[in-house]
A = this chain, B = another copy of it.
């Protein structure tokens, strides 16, 4: 089916972008991975810029769904924060991968303006959600020492991202754990 190929391309591209960066994979790589000729990829995604937009769009929707799901399955602010941290931790995949947002942030140069805007919206969405998490944790007492949920949220995302970057550069997930200990020790 048509949709399958397109999804397979997105899956392959996302994995490649997260492990090797947006400039770290080519249409030739996707071609080999998905099993369709290089030129045929252009049928689904005319340019690499268009591919990047599609990737970021899907990623935004995915993460929004993740946050919604966490709200449903975890009741306290502390449990929700833990779930978010776990999500970023598992995205590391043993120190070989990043979340797409971090990966794209590092490839700014090669991305169209539209993706930059998408990244901005993505970050706002995550930070806004995180603020509700800290506010809940403040209210229900599941996160210690919350003075200002907005300040906490504005720091939490960059911390998670910086921790991912540090852990991947040395392929050592323990660096992620030690970086986010400042959060986990309060739970």
Contact = CB atoms under 8 A, between A and B. Distances in A.
Interface in A95-111: 102, 104-110
Interface string A128-160: 000000000000000001011001101101111
Contacts of A51: none
B182 A155 contact: yes
Interface in A1-34: 20-21, 23-24
Interface of A: 20-21, 23-24, 102, 104-110, 116, 119-120, 123, 145, 147-148, 151-152, 154-155, 157-163, 165-166, 168-170, 178-183, 185
29 contacts: A21-B23, A21-B106, A23-B23, A102-B165, A104-B169, A105-B169, A106-B106, A106-B107, A106-B165, A108-B168, A108-B169, A120-B170, A147-B185, A151-B178, A151-B181, A154-B178, A154-B182, A155-B159, A155-B179, A155-B182, A155-B183, A157-B166, A157-B179, A158-B163, A158-B179, A159-B159, A160-B162, A162-B163, A165-B165
